[in-house]
A and B are shown apart, each in its own frame.
Chain A
């Protein structure tokens, strides 16, 4: 048993898992409130990565470099993803609020296909090299084998973001409104919560998290294309289901479990089948424990 290798895989898995967790949070929050799988969430993440790529590209060519570029690119990406998430909800989901269950889901799939092809047509269907924006920290050199500088940035940023999200949900006015809406949408409306605004806010927050994830993963893997949102979206959804959909800590746990399971599977069995492990895990979880790791089984009401 090679423990060093195992440890290396574990670290990689945690880094990957924390990205999945960031995207999964968007799924789980939306699902918690309106019971909709926001299929186009992966596309919002992809758009975040693309906007960051464009901003970074323009700035690098104008002579800027390093952390300034990363920060500005991330900020612009976050703004744009939030705008896209907000618009998406307004156009594709809001008119279907009271429609049968299948309708918003199909609408979401349509929106996902639309956005993917929109970016493909407006930019390029090919892979684009994403610039390395995270500088190499010297103090990371000794443990670089396990954790690179980019990985460290990912871990720090995801932890901070999740902490901020927890504070937002627990202690702010809008967070309280979100929790109330999640418990009972009709009741929340009756006590005077502007439910439409809460839903919009949920989409915006989810999109912000997705954009952060998009910038982070793009600067780690070093390449993006219009299709990355699709796979990442499904995996993040898997993570959300794994932890129990609608459950915020569950999404984080699910993301980490999925990331670790995937890297271990790829490292010990076969890297070509990496995606298969994720899907197989999803199927297994849904069959054995449909409520997820942290979720409570929901009784279906008539």
Chain B
């Protein structure tokens, strides 16, 4: 009963909060005021329901603190522990991914393939940012700038020097990496939140420069007529081009998964995670902070540059509007939602965040609104993400699992 009363109060409070913005709309052209009272009712009812559910969840979270979620093995944990199962799942996913274009596209209808290409591009971006944010714990809010570096590298090189896609692909990645190092150097000393703001600034500067340097970057109009990837000089029609892009980006995804997975369990990967957990302690233990942070930056940026080339080639056309803060935020949302550091989680989150708005058109308008809300809610209720990252651990006889995997919530 107390809950109901409280929820009712909260509903009223939100009706008050949203009163001017949701109800009144002043049309300055026709000099009219539009009153949309019905909206207020929805806000009230919605806030009441959410508040009720919220209290329920908060209570449950408080009660569940003692016995954490990690007590029962997560899906990722089970996959990692069972090599047979994980190999089967991997093979199944790979098979579906490979035959996908032939399943969904018939004749000249290759819409689904194109949607999938852009979703997979974001999967690579998510996995790349996962290195910087998820593994090394360096919050990068301007990540999309490296994507832009890759895209513009290819566009400019192909336009001015007539270089082909396959030459530019590694060059785009290297350019991304170079920018990562250049930006990484001055900010090594910064602590977490300052770092976030500076990277945000870098991202914004990149976009402003792209918009205003007309002679080189084509200004706000961008660059058009970027050649598609070539395949031994064969002429491909529209559908074949899309399918070809699809396989290229699919191969990139596979490569990214392979490399990130190996990196994660390597010496440098452990150093990243140590820095993420406790900077001072890990430096005291002999982790080279400058080199570790820079490598996290550079390797994260590398993937963005690489996939930027694919993006430019697939779209034929780029302009600064594809590289806004909202895109950076979306990639970040993928990493956060999927579970920082968790490869499987990031892939699922990236696919979900790109594909859902595409197929649920009604939802597309509210996409960013929902993203924002989801980011807040995830941090409160499930900071480890949808599929929490699992650490490799060694089992000793009689002591297996007793020490847990230090990655549920606490520092």
Which chain A residues have a beta carbon within 8 Å of chain B's beta carbons? Answer: 35-37, 47, 50-51, 53-55, 57-58, 61, 76, 80, 83-84, 87, 91-92, 95-96, 99-107, 109-119, 121-124, 128-129, 230, 234, 237-238, 241, 270, 272-273, 275-276, 279-280, 282-283, 286-287, 290, 300, 302
Contacts and interface: CB of A to CB of B under 8 A. Distances in A.
A283 B212 contact: no
Given A237-B197, A276-B205, A280-B205, A113 B20 contact: no
Contacts of A80: 17, 20
24 contacts: A37-B196, A57-B24, A57-B33, A58-B26, A92-B380, A106-B375, A106-B379, A107-B375, A107-B380, A110-B373, A113-B326, A113-B329, A113-B375, A117-B372, A122-B22, A234-B197, A241-B194, A273-B209, A282-B201, A283-B186, A283-B202, A286-B194, A287-B186, A290-B190
B196 to A, nearest CB: 6
B192 A111 contact: no
Given A51-B21, A54-B21, A276-B209, A286 B383 contact: no
A53 B198 CA distance: 32
B368 A117 contact: yes
A126 B51 CA distance: 32
B317 interface: no
A111 B20 contact: no
Contact of B200 (A57, A92, A102, A234): A234
A237 B411 CA distance: 27
B212 A273 contact: yes
Most chain B beta carbons < 10 A, residue from A117, A287, A300: A117
A279 B201 contact: yes
Nearest to B410: A100
Contacts of A102: 137, 139, 192
A110 B375 contact: yes
B58 interface: yes
Contacts of A119: 21
Contacts of B28: 57, 128-129
B18 interface: yes
Contact of B380 (A36, A96, A122): A96
A32 to B, nearest CB: 13
B17 A54 contact: no
Given A57-B28, A234-B200, A50 B193 contact: no
Contacts of B376: 91-92, 107, 110-111, 114
Nearest to A274: B208
A113 B368 contact: yes
Interface string B254-289: 000000000000000000000000001100000000
A113 B371 CA distance: 8
A273 B208 contact: yes
B313 interface: no
A87 B13 contact: yes
A55 B26 CA distance: 9
Contacts of B200: 234
Interface of B: 13, 16-18, 20-22, 24-26, 28, 31-33, 39, 58, 137, 139, 141, 186-187, 189-190, 192-194, 196-198, 200-202, 204-205, 208-209, 211-212, 280-281, 325-326, 329, 332-333, 336, 365-366, 368-369, 371-376, 379-380, 383, 409-411
A94 to B, nearest CB: 9
Given A61-B31, A122-B22, A300-B280, A100 B411 contact: yes
A283 B194 CA distance: 10
B198 A286 contact: yes
B20 A51 contact: yes
Contacts of B411: 100
A95 B212 contact: no
Contacts of B410: 100
A106 B18 CA distance: 24
B182 to A, nearest CB: 12
Contact of B192 (A92, A105, A122, A290): A105
Contacts of A99: 379, 383, 409
Contacts of B201: 234, 238, 279, 282-283
A58 B280 contact: no
A16 B380 CA distance: 37
Most buried by A among B13, B192, B372: B372
Contact of B379 (A53, A107, A273, A282): A107
Contact of A58 (B24, B372, B383): B24
B334 to A, nearest CB: 12
A289 to B, nearest CB: 11
For the complex of A and B, 4 pairs with smallest distance between CB atoms: A110-B375, A114-B372, A57-B26, A113-B372
A92 B378 CA distance: 11
Contact of B371 (A61, A105, A110): A110
B194 A110 contact: no
Nearest to A237: B197
A101 B192 contact: yes
Contacts of B20: 50-51, 54-55, 76, 80
A57 B35 CA distance: 13
Contacts of A279: 201-202, 204-205
B18 A122 contact: yes
Given A99-B379, A234-B197, A58 B33 contact: yes
Given A61-B33, A113-B329, A280-B205, A104 B379 contact: yes
A183 to B, nearest CB: 20
